[in-house]
A and B are shown apart, each in its own frame.
Chain A
């Protein structure tokens, strides 16, 4: 069941059209990554979903949002969260919980649990002004989920963190996945692959690719054969690229990579050709293109 359906979403800031028409749905209980380079429109999209920016056209419909304030169903963490510096972490969470409609006692309990879950309970009575970046990020996640929203939106939750903090936040998200749907933006494919079920790939304000990781792999990954010769790899590669199964070729120093359509057929042809012509083959490797390669290709287009 979709938590939110987005249709024909557009946004223009002065001269520049930032979002050029998005259509997608987010389903309950899924973890979705909004992937894209800087300036692809990720933050604007999230802000529109959170109701902070009004779209020029298109609609954002939350399940149940006609009857109740849709903000009940969502949690949101901006890219650079700012808190009331004079509050303590515990006070801020209790305040956020009460604003979200929790009774005072429950807000207190939730705040206590979340401080522990996010690992900042020993700093709970310290002023937020004294928190480190990583602690603020974790406090930000805690305030986003305090009212058990159906959908949590996180804008670049790990980009500003050191490797340690990044790992911890990713693990935290992995645990959260069981409780709520997560939509988080990132420009790092690795993070997305690690915890997400689905990927929305945004480029220049348009959704250019989306689906589950498995779908994307089958759709985009191509078989690849890497060859290394004792010498003159480039010359041999030139001739091999004329063979029928090769769709494209790339030479990097001593090694040459060939994208092929039919891996079985390609292997047979390659090996027989090389054997017949007695070329000095050193390495023969069959691999696949990574999603990273695919996305780099798409972005460069």
Chain B
């Protein structure tokens, strides 16, 4: 346990030293807040940019508050996911490739602790950034459109967070047996795209798929209700997360580290 704290502190320090604690939250805020702002000011933006014939009247449907917030979530689902993969794809693979692990893992370091520290520090950074971005987006939606009940915000925040957690966990799992961080990133993105495509096109068969959590959250924000398939989807996700963590540890233990 004491060792886990040491490992975890090192990860935190590293993230501070290379400014991840600044730019990751900042990026999440930017991509989230951009949506309600753009949606609200779009008529003015088009107007001030000009280029429209004299006398043309712009009639854009005013989006609802739910649609504006859902737009932020869909940004997380593309750009956000990409950033998550980019910042975690080298967390173990990079250290192994550089050779630092040769110094660290000949010390009596628990393999489970090593993987857990990597996972929990990534979780902390991403959940913090995700919360900040999503919260500010909710706030601006409230100011510019109307306030969505905070409890609804929290529910959607946690439900969609499960999908992000699963992504982090999969990237860590790939890290334990692939030595090149580029390959880890590529395969992670591939898995996410395939899972999303399959789940949305075969949604009647794969209603339990974790990749549908974002769709369910969208339905909830816009329509006010989660579909019935939410629960199986959450259960499958949690099982997949736990299984991936255990598998990561088991694989990492058995790997030759040189």
Contacts and interface: CB of A to CB of B under 8 A. Distances in A.
Interface of A: 47, 50-54, 69, 71-72, 74-78, 80-84, 86-87, 95-96, 98-101, 140, 143, 147
Given A83-B100, A95-B6, A98-B3, A71 B14 contact: no
Contact of B102 (A52, A99, A101): A52
Interface stretch (B49-57, B105-113, B142-150): B105-113
Given A52-B256, A52-B257, A84-B14, A99 B99 contact: no
A81 B103 contact: yes
Given A78-B99, A82-B100, A86-B14, A99 B258 contact: no
A81 B106 CA distance: 13
Given A78-B99, A78-B103, A83-B100, A69 B6 contact: no
A115 to B, nearest CB: 17
A101 B108 contact: yes
Contact of A96 (B13, B14, B107, B257): B107
A82 B102 contact: yes
A99 B107 contact: yes
Contact of A84 (B7, B100, B105, B107): B100
23 contacts: A47-B258, A51-B106, A52-B105, A52-B106, A52-B257, A53-B256, A74-B106, A76-B102, A78-B102, A78-B103, A81-B99, A81-B103, A82-B99, A84-B10, A84-B100, A87-B13, A95-B6, A98-B3, A98-B6, A99-B3, A99-B108, A101-B3, A143-B103
B104 interface: yes
Given A95-B10, A99-B3, A82 B106 contact: no
Contacts of A52: 102, 105-106, 256-258
B204 interface: no
B258 A53 contact: yes
Contacts of A75: 106
Nearest to A48: B258
A99 B256 contact: no
Given A82-B98, A83-B100, A72 B108 contact: yes
A142 to B, nearest CB: 11
B128 to A, nearest CB: 21
A47 B104 CA distance: 14
B18 interface: yes
Contacts of A77: 103
Contact of B6 (A71, A99, A143): A99
B103 to A, nearest CB: 6
Contacts of B3: 98-99, 101
Interface residues of B, number: 23
SS class, residues of chain B in contact with chain A:
helix
A147 B257 CA distance: 22
Contacts of B109: 71, 99
Contacts of A50: 106
A131 to B, nearest CB: 14
Nearest to B5: A98
A23 B253 CA distance: 27
A69 B108 contact: yes
Interface string B9-44: 010011001100000000000000000000000000
Given A52-B257, A82-B98, A101-B108, A96 B17 contact: no
Given A52-B256, A54-B256, A82 B6 contact: no
Nearest to A103: B2
A78 B96 CA distance: 13
A41 to B, nearest CB: 14
Contacts of A87: 13
A260 to B, nearest CB: 48
Contacts of B103: 76-78, 81-83, 96, 140, 143
B207 to A, nearest CB: 44
Contacts of B108: 69, 71-72, 99-101
B258 A100 contact: no
A118 B13 CA distance: 26
Given A53-B258, A71-B107, A99-B107, 10 more contacts: A50-B106, A76-B102, A82-B99, A82-B100, A83-B103, A84-B10, A87-B13, A95-B10, A98-B2, A100-B108
Nearest to A153: B106
A137 to B, nearest CB: 13
Contacts of B17: 86
A75 B108 CA distance: 10
A165 to B, nearest CB: 20
A100 B14 contact: no
Nearest to A70: B108
A54 B253 CA distance: 12
Contacts of B102: 52, 76, 78, 81-82
